[in-house]
Amino acid sequence: MPYRWIALAIALTLTDMTQAHDVTKTSAPAVQAAGDDDNLWLDDIDGAKPMAWVKAENAKTVAAYAQSPAFKTLDARLLEMLDSEARIPAVTKIGDHYYNLWRDKAHPKGIWRRTTLAEYRKDAPAWETIIDVDALSAAEKENWVWHGVQCLRPANRRCLVSLSRGGADADVIREFDLTTRSFVKDGFTLPEAKTQVAWIDDDHLFVATDFGPGSMTESSYPRIVKEWTRGTPLASAKVVYEGKPTDMSISAYRDLTPGFERDFVQRALEFYNSETFVRGKDGKLTRIDKPNDAEVDVEREWMLLELRSDWTVGGHTYPSGSLLAAKFDDYMAGKRDLVALFTPDEHTSLAGHSWTRHHLFLNLMHDVSSQIRVLTPTDTGPWTSEPLGGAPELSAMEAYGIDADDTDEYFLTVSGFIQPTTLYYGVLGQGEREALKHTPSFFDASKFVVSQHFATSKDGTKVPYFEIAPKALKADGSNPTLVYGYGGFEISLQPAYAASAGRAWLEKGGVYVIANIRGGGEYGPRWHQAAMKANRPRAYEDFAAVSQDLIDRKITTPRHMGMMGGSNGGLLAGNMLTTYPQLYGAVVSQVALLDMKRYPHMSAGASWMAEYGNPDKPEEWKYIQTFSPYHNLHKGTRYPPVLFTTSTRDDRVGPVHARKMAARMQAMGLDASFYENIEGGHGAAADNKQSAFMSALAYTYLWEHLK
């Protein structure tokens, strides 16, 4: 679903206290007045003066941290890992082939390629290149970054390719013919915009894009969706639905499942709050009767509803976090015969679900470790349920159907922090699954041990965290320790192979910690909702509790402990810097929100007000200002050194937050370093080389200050 995609996309994907002292109790924050901002000149993202400042700051940071032999060795080792031919090529089945976007040293921008299942089973499959993004970029003199493709089922001849200039969220859409392996002359083409597009049939698309002034929401996403006919001007496309400027986004799509073709329109009001409509052949929209915060999934004859609040319907009350099923046509006709497929408890939540032709996978988390169940629908009553094997302790498993239209084939991934990922292939009901691919070991895991601990937060909540440490660890407080967190938008930090952290941190003798703080989805919607808006500081109290627990257990001391986070986690980093400076020896804040007074007016910030609140309302600014790092710097307070990293092409959060925060700290005489990648989008890197550099910079900065 489009709003679900946006929610997941906000998270920065990295390759890999019993009672904390509250500094605000002893030092009143010097909150900046709303109109008193001497760094507004940095808002001009591509302006000559701001870019001169950016380049000067980049040069200083590179000179200080990216010139040593140790940095260059780490940078090269991380790039070697990212470019490794032994990585698992993640594939998507389209028709009879399995497709993959592959980047390596020879193809830094990537090649979109395909193979067969028989070839994919081999150690060295034979791949057929379909689109060479590097060659395309060179031929068109554009810095194209691949952003995906969607093909028209079931023929899968025509596809819509999304290409971004430099990695921004805004894409150019171009029609591609898989049979001729070429872009379609005079085919469907859309100029650069934050576009949401979907096939209806060979000659029609649903298009939500920038149609001109007033057609985008205040969140910078499309406000209008239209039906566009091949061979006609986009301006003549017929309006399907028009939302309000205050909505987050509007989109439409066709379920192309043979025999179950249906059109849906979605009005995303805010994150995890949407209305979904079924569009009839006459164009009439019928709203699906559900709570706005429930996510709906329609597959063949079934409709699933994932709840984010308690819901009483049909004489039953279903708790938040439940997954319910109903026959779609019956439900739309007014029947409310719901079956509860999953009900959460204090330790177990739903991480996701995926269909095969006849079955449904439930990917569950029990205290953040994985469990999987296979459900089989029945016409009446409870669905049958069986476990899909067991996961190794403190690891993550995910099962997902390969082609729900036709088969019960599935892929299964199994991974742990020190356990390289294994990809399995299986067919439900047809014997044991087979191990197809293995991620190579990028560091010697035999030297390390993974453990899970629980810290007690300020309000008594038990907060889990994972610790990856040397087996020979001495609890003497001297260990360089890096704590990573996110804590927002119901995004969970589950175990995953820590390849980059292994090479960049663990091999040097450091301890690596993942904090599963509130705001995330580790325990379902309740865990997320516990740190929204006025309760946002609970996430920071949780992170402080984890940090203090590491100190109390004598794993480390503030002198040797650092923290890092990106995007919403970058806001976390900013708040740990300003509210708990006594806990850390260094901080890295990546592609972060930091100015919470002006964030709704910067890039896509207006879309996050359901998470943080609206600072333009005085009653909400009253609590938001307590977690706005830009406004909570104290003259005379000692802060740990901090590195801010961002990207000029980040059109989601934007680089202005990091620019202004670094500039303000520097003006106060504080140790604040800054690096802005000129391209890369919200991930701050457009290719493997840039990714390796950005990771090496962050790890080197922390190690230099914490060793």
Tell me the per-residue pLDDT of 635-652, one tens digit each, with 9 for 90 and over: 999 999 999 999 999 999
Q: Which residues of 387-397 are buried (b: 16+ CB within 10 A; e: fewer)?
A: ebeebeebbbb
**In-domain check, residue 9:** yes
Residue numbers annotated as active site: 567, 682
pLDDT at 544: 98
For the chain, give the percent of residues with pLDDT over 70: 95
Same domain, 19 and 133: no
Same domain, 479 and 560: yes
Contact 448, 528 (CB under 8 A): no
Q: What is the mean pLDDT of residues 177-187?
A: 96
Q: Which of 456, 679, 642, 672 is nearest to 549 (CA)?
A: 456
Quickly state the pLDDT bin for 476 (edges 50, 70, 90).
Answer: very high
Q: Specify the DSSP class assigned to residue 216.
A: B
H helices of 514-655, in order, are: 525-529, 537-552, 568-579, 609-612, 618-624
Contact 303, 328 (CB under 8 A): yes
> SS3 of 606, please?
helix
CATH code, 75: 3.40.50.1820
Domain end point (choices 233, 261, 287): 287
Average pLDDT along the chain: 94
Tell me the per-residue pLDDT of 544-577, one tens digit each, with 9 for 90 and over: 999 999 999 999 999 999 999 999 999 999 999 9
Same domain, 172 and 70: no
Same domain, 103 and 228: yes
Q: 566 has which bridge partners?
A: 590
Same domain, 56 and 183: no
**In-domain check, residue 309:** no
* pLDDT higher than threshold 70 for residue 31: no
**In-domain check, residue 316:** no
Tell me the per-residue pLDDT of 56-103, one tens digit each, with 9 for 90 and over: 999 999 999 999 999 999 999 999 999 999 999 999 999 999 999 999
Q: How far apart are CA 529 and CA 9, in angstroms?
A: 19
**In-domain check, residue 428:** no
**Would you call the peptide bond into 392 cis, given omega within 30 degrees of 0 as the criterion?**
no
CATH code, 270: 2.130.10.120
Q: How many structural domains are present in the chain?
A: 2
**In-domain check, residue 426:** no
Same domain, 459 and 587: yes
**In-domain check, residue 360:** no
* pLDDT higher than threshold 70 for residue 4: no
**In-domain check, residue 294:** no
Domain end point (choices 236, 270, 287): 287
> SS3 of 253, please?
strand
* pLDDT higher than threshold 80 for residue 401: yes
Tell me the per-residue pLDDT of 14-28, one tens digit each, with 9 for 90 and over: 334 222 222 222 233
Domain end point (choices 254, 269, 287): 287
Q: How far apart are CA 16 and CA 391, in angstroms?
A: 19
Same domain, 572 and 538: yes
**In-domain check, residue 263:** yes
Q: What is the mean pLDDT of residues 308-328?
A: 97
Least confident of 232-241, 384-393, 660-669: 384-393
Same domain, 64 and 97: no
Same domain, 148 and 272: yes
Q: 391 has which bridge partners?
A: none
pLDDT at 389: 78
Same domain, 579 and 665: yes
Same domain, 542 and 674: yes
pLDDT at 379: 85
Tell me the per-residue pLDDT of 252-305, one tens digit each, with 9 for 90 and over: 999 999 999 999 999 999 999 999 999 999 999 999 999 999 999 999 999 999
* Domain that includes residue 574, residue range: 2-79+443-706
CA distances from 151 to 154, 257, 503, 658, 665 (A): 9, 13, 38, 38, 49
Q: Specify the DSSP class assigned to residue 68.
A: S
Same domain, 239 and 127: yes
Least confident of 220-234, 517-531, 674-688: 674-688
pLDDT at 391: 75
